[in-house]
């Protein structure tokens, strides 16, 4: 985990063999195999039959739906497209500072984007990001990228989200959300508040997403 956090092996790169890791850490190959199995179960590593073990990456299309649990009611696959709306820097409020574990007043980047499915606006996101990590992030850069946001953060800034916590509640659409999502004022929306963490359990994103769920539902499988 320390090596991953330090960037010794980049996202998508192969890690050393089990025998090499066993020698490095002075443990048996069985111990290494068990550790890799646990990290693969946590989506930190990916095993590929006959090829080896690789660092998980947001470039893998399967990772997109790991962090987005919105599903069409009819089950059809939709083409998702991120539409950046604004990107600015401001001082962290007490609430933002508390979530991101920053001093109040530290610079943060505030990003707004619309997520469309087959052209229909479905999610309006507001993201708060530590400016020290995402220095140089601009609306122009976001508009030029065709990657998912997390894939873009990973490739452009070397930040990989490895886990997230979410809280859900029902809210009424304000005028801005109603206009952008194409719903009536005060229409019911699902507010999904997410805190995403990178290595070392460091919070690097606070996201407040308003979901229009007329034709979609939030799906999570518990086991």
| CATH number of the domain within which 36 lies | 1.10.10.10
In a shared domain, residues 147 and 83: yes
Contact (CB, 8 A) for 189 and 168? no
In a shared domain, residues 95 and 194: yes
**CB neighbour burial string for 148-166, b if at least 16 within 10 angstroms, e if fewer:** bbbbbbbbeeebbbbeeee
Q: Considering its fold, how many domains does the chain have in total?
A: 2
Q: Span 84-99, mean pLDDT?
A: 98
Residue 223: predicted pLDDT: 72
Q: Rounded distance, CA 144 to CA 204, Å? A: 22
In a shared domain, residues 35 and 135: no
Tens of pLDDT, residue by residue over 150-200, are: 999 998 998 999 999 999 999 999 999 999 999 999 999 999 999 999 998
Residue 223 covered by a domain: no
Residue 179: predicted pLDDT: 97
Which of 35, 38, 39, 6 is CA-nearest to residue 21? 35
Contact (CB, 8 A) for 199 and 4? yes
pTM of the model: 0.85
Asked whether residue 64 carries a pLDDT value surpassing 80, the answer given is no
């Amino acid at each position: 985990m320390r090596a991953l956090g330090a960037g010794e092996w980049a996202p998508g790169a192969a890690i050393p063999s089990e025998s090499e890791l066993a020698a490095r850490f002075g443990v048996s190959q069985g111990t290494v195999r068990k550790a890799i199995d646990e990290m693969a179960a946590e989506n930190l590593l990916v095993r590929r039959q006959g090829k080896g073990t690789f660092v998980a990456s947001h470039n893998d299309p399967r990772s997109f739906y790991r962090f987005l649990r919105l599903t069409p009611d009819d089950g059809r696959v939709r083409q998702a497209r991120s539409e950046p709306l604004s990107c600015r820097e401001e001082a962290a409020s007490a609430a933002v500072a508390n979530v991101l574990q920053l001093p109040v007043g530290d610079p943060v980047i505030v990003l707004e984007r619309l997520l469309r499915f087959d052209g229909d606006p479905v999610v309006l996101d507001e993201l708060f990001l530590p400016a020290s990590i995402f220095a140089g992030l601009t609306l122009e850069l976001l508009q030029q990228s065709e990657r998912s946001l997390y894939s873009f953060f990973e490739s452009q800034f070397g930040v990989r989200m490895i886990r997230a916590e979410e809280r859900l509640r029902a809210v009424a659409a304000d005028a801005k959300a109603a206009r952008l999502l194409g719903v009536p004022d005060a229409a019911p929306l699902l507010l999904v508040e997410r805190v995403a963490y990178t290595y070392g359990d460091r919070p690097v994103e606070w996201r407040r997403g308003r979901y229009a769920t007329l034709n979609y539902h939030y799906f999570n499988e518990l086991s």
